[in-house]
Chain A
């Protein structure tokens, strides 16, 4: 039976949020790195067997040389702020599935004795108090689980 008198219907929005949990193995190299963060609050980079470049986060093979990295080198915990931004747009963090409150500082830090940079949160969210080239140091969480978020953030060295 046809029924056509209803017009001007309310339009509905359908909401179907989804969680996609995923796990991956950190492998030998990643596990060593994260355990050193967790257990010793230390950073280790991997040194290329040919060019001597020290990678952090560590990697098993050197990008330019294609040679295996074969040595652990302790780097940091201080370094230099090479670039930064202040995030004002909140988005979902894949590590937690939650939004980090804005504003917060985010930067690339070149740790002492490393040849590559790591990205992390900064203690400072006021851009006028950050400067490229300033000395930074890692602040570790008291409770550590063996992941990059064991580092709370990097703060300017007093």
Chain B
């Protein structure tokens, strides 16, 4: 065993960085309302909102109770799928809590025709300078869908002639 030694503090030339990874596994039950919404995305490529019987607000994503009058909601409304950008931003950084996608992407609040609330999703096939508030967009579905909001790959602008 080494003898007891002591050293005077010296200037440190190299400061070490500790890299750590906290991994947080997280699952939750989507519940009956969101499950039904997601199953329609997955199996039929359809987007459903839900209408309040009392105040007639159509919620997207659908929810079990009306936020305004607390009524139980069960009147499903199939939406056409197309809608308008209400607001958007370009995200210029990547981090591990984002769903997997490129380093830069456009995030938008989209109000689909027939819905009264905006859905937050990504916009693809367009740069931010091609978009404005009010741009008409449509969903692009993934080929393999898992019952997840990312079964919609993104929304893209409706080009003239395609609409």
Q: Which residues does A use to contact B, with CB under 8 Å? A: 1-4, 6, 9-28, 30-32, 34-35, 42, 44, 47, 70-74, 78, 92, 94-98, 112-113, 146-147
Contacts and interface: CB of A to CB of B under 8 A. Distances in A.
A119 to B, nearest CB: 16
Nearest to B74: A4
Contact of B39 (A4, A10, A24, A113): A10
Interface string B1-40: 1101111110010111111111111111111101110110
Given A1-B77, A13-B28, A97-B23, A25 B4 contact: no
B12 A17 contact: no
Contacts of A28: 9, 12, 15
Interface residues of B, number: 44
Given A11-B35, A12-B30, A74 B18 contact: no
A9 B24 contact: no
Chain A's interface: helix, strand, loop or mixed, by majority? mixed
B132 to A, nearest CB: 31
Nearest to B12: A28
Given A4-B74, A19-B22, 10 more contacts: A1-B77, A2-B51, A13-B27, A20-B21, A22-B22, A23-B19, A26-B15, A74-B5, A98-B23, A113-B4
B34 A12 contact: yes
Nearest to A21: B21
Chain B's interface: helix, strand, loop or mixed, by majority? mixed
B147 interface: yes
B126 to A, nearest CB: 26
A34 B17 CA distance: 10
A12 B84 CA distance: 29
Nearest to A72: B7
Given A12-B34, A92-B23, A146 B16 contact: yes
8 contacts: A3-B77, A6-B76, A18-B96, A24-B20, A28-B9, A70-B9, A71-B6, A71-B8
A157 to B, nearest CB: 11
Given A13-B30, A19-B22, A94-B21, A3 B76 contact: yes
B6 A73 contact: yes
- Which 8 A-B residue pairings sit nearest by Cβ, starting from the closest? A97-B21, A19-B96, A72-B7, A97-B23, A20-B22, A12-B30, A26-B16, A12-B35
A23 B20 contact: yes
Contacts of B16: 25-26, 30-31, 34-35, 146-147
Nearest to A73: B6
A58 to B, nearest CB: 11
B97 interface: yes
Contacts of B128: none
A32 B11 CA distance: 10
Contacts of A16: 26-27
Contact of A12 (B2, B39, B76): B39
A115 to B, nearest CB: 13
